[in-house]
Structure 1
Amino acid sequence: MRSTLTALAFSLAATAAATVALAHGPTPQKVDQSVTVAAPPDAVWKVVGDFGGIGKWHPDVAGVEASGGNASGGTRKVTLKSGGTLVEGLDEWKGDARTYSYRMSDPDLKALPVSSYSATITVSPDGAGSKVSWQGRFYRGDTGNEPEEALSDEAGRTAMNRYFSNGLKGLKAAVEGGR
């Protein structure tokens, strides 16, 4: 009888553990990209530090509607050339440290297959030039347990990596005079 109760307890514990593991939702994904720009940090910051000015350097951006400037609470609606819009709010802008952080307000899965994201852009000295770092944290487009491929973790990472990479290449070209 005791061995039957032990086996039953073990079976219930294993089932509970498996249920918890299967019920696990999405995990946060991260993207971290950087580029070296052949210009002083203040010159790079003059371009990238304007929260509403992303359309001047990001090649994927068709247009931007911004309000609130570089103050916390500022907003921008970024329309992408590929379709869709990113509605973003500025959380923190530190001009003296050459960094700002922002987050997506409402998801647009056509624009990026992610349900939410927050990001930080930082410009720092790097030898005779500058290093621009763009870091993002996000969740996949479908936060259910079995997302379709187009809204999976991998789809979100691929899209965010492409968006950040294209943006950093565009910034480098804009600052160095190639755009």
Structure 2
Amino acid sequence: MGRRAALAGLVALMPAMALAHGPTRQKITLTTDLAAPPEEVWAAIGNFQDMSWHPAVATTDGEGGNAIDATRVLHLGTADGPTISEVLYKYDASKMSYSYRITDVKVEVLPVTNYSSHLTVKPREGGGSEVEWRGAFYRGYPNNDPPPELNDEAAIAAVSAVYQAGLDALVARFGAP
């Protein structure tokens, strides 16, 4: 095979190669405004070991407090329900912010892989606070042609629902401005 034939073959394959790129990293950010001052909201959500403020979390087990590399296991629904294991990789109480990633979760529980998240409380102009919850992740199915329950849309919908449920619980607890 000559150089031209090899080049022509490669050029012919390029459209198929372009389609075989796999999943792309998804990112979402949800925010909510609360009537309470940031310090009060942070007191409720700033402890990595305590996620009792989220209605989906029945119990939290963990080690390491708020130190980097602290771990927690969230038990969903009931104490013996499905779990999500997470590790803390950034914590700044002065900025009322922490970042964590999932180390273990079944895609049937949350259809994502390579998930990281950031939770921050900020003061609002005029009083109250804003809570921002950001996440970045890949869908639960790493190859092309995922089943519907493990595609990008399913991953975005599931993470959005988790965040929204938590933020709605904070509005119920602290009120909207």
Conservation of the 8 A alpha-carbon contact between 1:49 and 1:98: yes
Conservation of the 8 A alpha-carbon contact between 1:78 and 1:85: yes
| Structure with the bigger percentage of helix | 1
Q: Offset at 1:20?
A: 2.1
| Counterparts of 2:112 and 2:38, CA distance in 1 | 31
Q: 2:67 aligns to what? A: 71
Q: 2:147 aligns to what? A: 148
Q: Offset at 1:160?
A: 0.3
Instruction: Note if 1:27 corresponds to 2:4.
Output: no
Q: 1:89 aligns to what? A: 87
Amino acid at match of 2:144: N
Gaps of 5+ in 2: none
Structure 1 residues 60-85: Cα deviation after superposition (integer angstroms, max 9, x where no partner):
11211121101101111011118521
Distance 1:156 1:53, change over 3 A: same
Q: 1:166 aligns to what? A: 165
Q: Percent identity?
A: 39
Amino acid at match of 2:20: A
Aligned length: 172
Q: Offset at 1:41?
A: 0.7
| Counterparts of 2:150 and 2:143, CA distance in 1 | 10
Amino acid at match of 1:156: A
TM-score (norm 1): 0.88
Q: 1:61 aligns to what? A: 57
Structure 1 residues 70-106: Cα deviation after superposition (integer angstroms, max 9, x where no partner):
1101111011118521100000100001100000001
Instruction: Tell me the secondary structure at the aligned position of residue 94 of structure 2.
Output: coil
Q: 2:111 aligns to what? A: 113
Instruction: Note if 1:39 corresponds to 2:15.
Output: no
Conservation of the 8 A alpha-carbon contact between 1:48 and 1:171: no
Q: Offset at 1:40?
A: 0.7
Q: Offset at 1:18?
A: 1.9
Structure 1 residues 22-58: Cα deviation after superposition (integer angstroms, max 9, x where no partner):
3211100011100001011111111111111112x10
TM-score (norm 2): 0.89
Structure 1 residues 118-138: Cα deviation after superposition (integer angstroms, max 9, x where no partner):
000011111210000000000
Question: Which portions of structure 1, spanning 4 or more consecutive aligned residues, are displaced by more than 4 angstroms?
Answer: 5-11
Q: Offset at 1:14?
A: 3.4
Q: Offset at 1:174?
A: 2.8
Structure 1 residues 151-171: Cα deviation after superposition (integer angstroms, max 9, x where no partner):
000000000000000011112
| Counterparts of 2:87 and 2:3, CA distance in 1 | 55
Segment drifting more, 139-148 vs 12-21: 12-21
Amino acid at match of 1:65: D
| Counterparts of 2:35 and 2:151, CA distance in 1 | 36
Segment drifting more, 121-130 vs 78-87: 78-87
